[in-house]
Amino acid sequence: MNEYLERLREKTCRLTDAPGVYLMKNKDGKIIYIGKAKNLKKRVTSYFKENPMHLPKVAKMVENVYDYDFIVTDSEYEALVLECSLIKQHCPKYNILLKDDKGYFYIRISDGEFPRITMEMQKKGKGEYLGPYTSGYTAKLAVEEANKVFMLPTCTKKFPAEFRRNRPCLNYHIKRCMGVCRGRITAEEYNKIISDAVNYIKTGSAESVERMEKEMLDASESLDFERAALLRDRIAAIKKAADTQKIITDCKDTDVIATARNDSSISAAVLIYRNGRLVDKMNFFLGDKEDDVFGDFVKQFYHGAEDIPKEILVEEEFDDMEFVERYLRERSGHAVSVTTRVRGDGARLIALAKSNAGEYLSFKVNRTAKEIIALDEIGKLLGLKEPPKYIESYDISNLGSSGIVAGMVVFENGRPLRSAYKRFSMKDNLSQNDLACMREVISRRFNHYVNKDTDDEGFLRLPDLILVDGGKGQVSVAREVVSEMGLDVPVFGMVKDNKHRTKAIATDGKEISVSDMKPAFFLLTRIQDEVHRFAITYQRSTRKKGLDSELMQVKGIGEKKALKLLKAYKTKKAMKEASAEDIASTAGVSLATAEELLAMLNG
């Protein structure tokens, strides 16, 4: 509990209703959180209310607030821009920070008579800098192609100090370097080439080729055939570099952003496409999950970046999306579309980004990406507040009223938790009434939870989701029992098609198809198959035990001989159809005993 809450509440009474940015500070005066607000008074007051329903991370932040400051802006949009800038400047503890061990990248054109073009992680030293680039691969590729196309030196020699000191290196002989070290190129000529290379990086291959083709014609008309040939070769090199960049999508310059979540954490992946091909992938671990984390991530990712594409595909709409679009448009100087897609190539790319985010999250939390995505899909499909971390599933198995049993399996984090599996034998004489059986099983299971009459931890834990094998009837019965006990646990059914495959999730009124949601479909199928296997295995074992006892009623057949017969014939029906001679031979009993056994079985 924050001992300074009363003072903080009193301070908020004097706050303005204007838009702006607020800065939460701890006792040492350090900024621990920065946020923006359309109405400063309403937003800041919400943190210090009595009995607030804060998320855990927000509650922890509020506990550490000693004071706060604020900055009024003219509009909510200005507040957004200022918020991004201040977060970048102060890196507050409780704001979303991009934990991918990367910063922004720059292309540096060094100072001096003979400058070099290199990629740098930060601005250091004199020279001209292009960027920042959000993608390290993009910056690196641009530098490599510029150096290759324009045959620039990449060695560590210093010019002009080391002119003609040694023989030209291998790059010169294989036409990868113009051989500046020979001392035959003037600083003026060299800087003209550097200028062309920088223009190539800035404008791309198409504009560079167009400009160089014009220069080549001018050189040819001026009878400067040596320069015309040099430009011809340079144009060919640019076209060759462009040809090797295979276009794999219609999305020319596009960033694709998606997230993966589990019960406590979230990760993001950004796929970067330039000229229609994937040039880089960036992963981020965003830590604790929050409601507005996606929008915060997008805003922070592009703040300070100059490598902003014309299209940004996102998996979901978020608050301030229009403001972010406007902000990026003003920063980049060109139109920027921030949008989501539900079909077509864009939807496929978003799914790919989501898969990458899941893979990255799996490294952090020791789960597979498919399980994370499947649970996320199931949670969204069923309208749950969180992905269901702990799932219980039930199935009834019977071959007549005397052998009705049920199985309960548990999946935790998308994986079977076999230590928590439970078996139930029906206590009531329920004939073959599956609904009555389901009522008994659910009642017995949750009576243990309500009454706390067991030390079994599996019964003392509430699941995040109950899945019953069956449709509307089973779901209605299970929901009714759970509701009667005053419990709030979502209940759904799993429905199979005529090929015995999971086809839909059943509510108490309709069916929701899952066939188009592959990760969710595969996990639900696995759960349904597992609970069916577990229940029917138990049913068979109880049936064998009953038959075992029945066989031992015949004089001369003990436990070992009964097991021999069960192993050989499997079922009562198969045993009935066998001859007395075969039974006698199999069990090692007399013919008279075998005949007595058959008489009992057929009696």
- φ, ψ for residue 133, nearest 5 deg: -105, 135
Please, which residues have CB within 8 angstroms of residue 464's CB and are 6 or more apart in sequence?
384, 386, 388, 389, 390, 391, 489, 490
Which pLDDT score, from 0 to 100, does residue 277 have?
67
Domain boundaries, the chain: 5-90, 105-243, 254-366, 380-542, 552-602
Confidence of residue 34 (pLDDT cuts 50, 70, 90): very high
Higher model confidence: residue 81 or residue 448? 448
CA distance 89 to 341: 33
In b/e form, how buried is each residue of 171-184, taking b as 16+ CB within 10 angstroms?
Answer: bbeeeebbbbbeee
- φ, ψ for residue 74, nearest 5 deg: -75, -25
Average pLDDT over the chain reads 82
Helix (H) or strand (E) holding 265: strand 265-274
Let me know the angle formed at the C-alpha of 428 by 423 and 434, rounded to the nearest 5 degrees: 70
The three-state secondary structure class of 511 is strand
Q: Please determine, looking at this structure, whether the domain spanning 380-542 carries the CATH number 3.30.420.340.
A: yes
- φ, ψ for residue 326, nearest 5 deg: -65, -45
Question: Average of pLDDT values for 90-109?
Answer: 70
Q: Is the pLDDT of residue 239 over 90?
A: no
CA distance 300 to 81: 10
Which pLDDT score, from 0 to 100, does residue 577 have?
79
Question: Average of pLDDT values for 136-147?
Answer: 76
Lowest mean pLDDT: which of 24-28, 72-76, 350-354? 72-76
CB distance 63 to 54 below 8 Å = no
What are the distances in angstroms from CA 529 to CA 382, 392, 405, 551? 20, 13, 16, 32
Quick one: which of 156, 96, 498, 420 has its CA closest to 286? 96
CATH architecture of 254-366: 2-Layer Sandwich (3.30)
Topology of the domain covering 5-90: GIY-YIG endonuclease (3.40.1440)
Higher model confidence: residue 131 or residue 380? 380
The single-letter code of the amino acid at 280 is D
Q: Is the pLDDT of residue 32 over 90?
A: yes
pLDDT tens readout for residues 166-184? 888 888 888 888 888 988 8
Question: What percent of the chain has a predicted confidence (pLDDT) above 90?
Answer: 19
Lowest mean pLDDT: which of 13-17, 106-110, 151-155, 301-305? 301-305
pLDDT tens readout for residues 374-424? 898 899 889 998 899 999 999 988 755 456 889 999 999 888 998 899 998
Question: Average of pLDDT values for 496-524?
Answer: 81
Let me know the angle formed at the C-alpha of 129 by 125 and 130, rounded to the nearest 5 degrees: 160
pLDDT tens readout for residues 543-602? 655 555 667 777 777 777 777 777 777 666 777 778 888 888 887 888 888 888 788 777
Assess whether the region 5-90 and the region 254-366 belong to the same CATH fold: no
The single-letter code of the amino acid at 561 is K
Confidence of residue 432 (pLDDT cuts 50, 70, 90): low
The conformation of residue 24, written as its DSSP 8-state character, comes to: E
